[in-house]
Structure formats: C-alpha cells, structure tokens
C-alpha cells in the first residue's frame, strides 16, 4: 500500500488568467467567486481535495499585478507571495493565447521559488489550428526550467484528470491536515459576502467593483432558513448611488441573484438584507482592511 501524501499547492498567475475557475473545476464545487473582471480574488482561500491516499490543499491567491498603488493591492501581492513561500508545489497558470508583461513579472518571482513549478497553459480550447499548441509548449519550455508543462482548459475541464493524477507525485508523505469532509477553510459568512461581491462585480461597470467590499454583520439560522445582514462598503458618496441604482434597482437585482445562489448552495431558504455605507479610502488603509476581514500579512 502506497504512503499517504498531503501538501500545499499554490495556484499563481497574473489577474484574470483562470486560477479560481481551475480550482472550482478540480473541486467540482464553487470555492472561489469568478467574474470576467481582473482582481476578483482578493483573499487567500484554501480548497481541500481529499482522496483515498492523498489530500491536495490548493491555495487560491489574488493575481500578482504591477500596479500596487493602493494598500489593498499591496496586501494582495503580499498574500500571493506568502503562498509561494509555503508551497510544496506551485501551479503557474498562464493564458496560452496571450503572454503579457505581468506574466513575465510572475515568472521572475518564481525564479527564487524553492518548490517545483508546473506550468499550466490555460484556455487551450481557444487555440486554432492545434499545431499552434506545440509551438506554445516549446516557447513556454524555453522560459523556465519547469517540472512539467500541462496544457489545460479550466473552463472546459480539458486535461484536468491528468493534472490531478500528476500532482501527488510532488507532495510529501504526510497524514491529512484537514478532515475528509472539509472543502475550504473559509466560513459560510465569508462565502456569503463573496457571492454578494461577485454579483455586484457582474452588475457594475468600469472601476467601481474595485472600490467596494462586502461585510456580513449577521448570519443566523432561523428555523429552516438562514438570515443574513450585509453591508456593502464603498469609498465615496457618489458610488453609493450607483450601487443602489435608480429606485433601488441595482441593489434589488444583486440581492435577488445573491440570495438565490446562497440558498441553492445551502439547500435552505435565505433572507438577505443589504445596506450600502461609505468608508472613505478604505482600500488604501491597512487598519480598515483588517477590520473588513482582509488578511494583512
């Protein structure tokens, strides 16, 4: 009988490259929120995948980015860097259709990484003709001494079984670190706040999603259902009106979408109430970030 393996697998890459989509796909459940906008993931989230003889602890990280002007951006970069330091294996995710200077920045950080690095070329379903994929694999191999290079499509779930079969060989022999029925280290309150923020990010345009955050103040089981009170924090008064919308239309739409998703995940009715409040420049104040539930390394 083979020894049990368990370890931390950091999923690293520039913003909006498919890291959270990948983790949700291999977990076969929604652990991290996903939107089409960059920097949707702001927190370090553990996703625990347990099998008979392995436990893979995926660490979903914020995308590493160059423009770290605000405290929140600096905190996100430090969070991702810390995940690298703790990892037994690093999955470096890039978009096979587009290599950017931000990808180059991430790769520079990996030069000093002590853990083996597996490169994942994501979105291979978009490569036409398929001969171009061989060229992309060859180009990637020349960039760094990767332990492996694996072409995948997180969205279409292409090649993910092969990836999951590959990972245990890089992990140390160890008993499991988490109970077998645990899928994430984050609470139900955290997940509710993230679902609300996801729906806001999808409904609002331009820069506003980066100026808001969600804090769940109350989360209680009432009979068969759950009652949730949440505050949506924005940085300026002008943003408050946009989030509420004309006659409350945006807030109603977001509230309904969030309530339905949370209820579906919990398998029970949800009563959701939300308020929009202003906290000036919260995203550029580390003390505010700490109060609002951000990990400040």
Band of pLDDT at residue 63, cut at 50, 70 and 90: confident
pLDDT value of position 25: 97
pLDDT at residue 73 tops 90: no
- Which of these ranges, 43-52, 197-206, 233-242, 284-293, has the smallest mean pLDDT? 197-206
At 138-176, the pLDDT tens digits run 999 999 999 999 999 999 999 999 999 999 999 999 999
At 95-143, the pLDDT tens digits run 999 999 999 999 999 998 999 999 999 999 999 888 899 999 999 999 9
pLDDT value of position 213: 95
| Whether 147 contacts 91, CB under 8 Å | no
pLDDT value of position 1: 61
Task: Identify the top-confidence range among 36-50, 58-72, 182-196, 282-296.
Answer: 182-196
Q: Which residues pair with 225 in a beta bridge?
A: 222
CA dihedral 256, 261, 262, 268 (to 10 degrees): 90
pLDDT value of position 295: 86
Chain mean pLDDT for the chain: 93
Average pLDDT over residues 48-56: 96
- Domain segments of the chain as ranges: 5-170, 188-291
pLDDT value of position 81: 85
Strand order in the sheet with 45-50: 45-50, 54-60, 5-12, 89-95, 117-122, 148-151
pLDDT at residue 210 tops 80: no
Q: Distance between CA 187 and CA 179 in Å, rounded?
A: 15
189: which residues sit within 8 A by CB, 6+ positions away?
Answer: 216, 219
The CATH superfamily label for domain 5-170 reads P-loop containing nucleotide triphosphate hydrolases (3.40.50.300)
Q: Which residues pair with 25 in a beta bridge?
A: none
The residue ranking higher by pLDDT, 180 or 208, is: 180
The CATH superfamily label for domain 188-291 reads K homology (KH) domain (3.30.300.20)
pLDDT value of position 207: 61
pTM of the entire predicted model? 0.93
pLDDT value of position 9: 98
- Can 5-170 and 188-291 be said to share one CATH topology? no
Burial label, 3 (beta-carbon count in 10 A; 0-12, 13-18, 19+):
exposed
Sign of CA dihedral 154, 258, 294, 278: positive
């Amino acid at each position: 009988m083979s020894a049990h393996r368990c370890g931390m697998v950091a999923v690293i890459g520039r913003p909006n490259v498919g890291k959270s989509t990948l983790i949700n796909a291999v977990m076969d459940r929604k652990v991290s929120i996903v939107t089409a906008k960059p920097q949707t993931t702001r927190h370090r989230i553990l996703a625990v995948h347990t099998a008979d003889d392995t436990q893979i602890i995926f660490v979903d990280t914020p995308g590493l980015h160059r423009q770290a002007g605000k405290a929140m951006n600096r905190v996100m970069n430090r969070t991702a860097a810390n995940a690298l330091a703790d990892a037994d294996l690093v999955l470096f995710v890039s978009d096979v259709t587009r290599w950017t200077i931000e990808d180059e920045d991430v790769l520079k950080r990996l030069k000093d990484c002590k853990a083996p690095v597996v490169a994942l070329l994501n979105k291979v379903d978009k490569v036409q003709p398929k001969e171009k994929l061989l060229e992309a694999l060859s180009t990637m191999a020349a960039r760094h001494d990767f332990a492996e290079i694996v072409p995948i499509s997180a969205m279409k779930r292409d090649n993910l079984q092969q990836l999951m079969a590959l990972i245990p060989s890089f992990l140390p022999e160890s008993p499991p670190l988490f109970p077998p029925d645990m899928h994430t280290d984050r609470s139900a309150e955290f997940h509710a706040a993230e679902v609300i923020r996801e729906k806001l990010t999808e409904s609002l345009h331009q820069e506003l999603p980066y100026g808001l955050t969600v804090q769940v103040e109350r989360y209680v089981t009432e009979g068969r259902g759950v009652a949730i009170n949440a505050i949506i924090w924005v940085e300026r008064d002008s943003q408050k009106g946009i989030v509420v919308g004309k006659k409350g239309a945006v807030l109603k739409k977001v509230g309904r979408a969030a309530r339905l998703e949370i209820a579906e995940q919990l398998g029970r009715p949800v009563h959701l109430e939300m308020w929009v409040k202003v906290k000036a420049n919260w995203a550029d104040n580390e003390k505010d970030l700490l109060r609002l539930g951000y990990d400040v390394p």
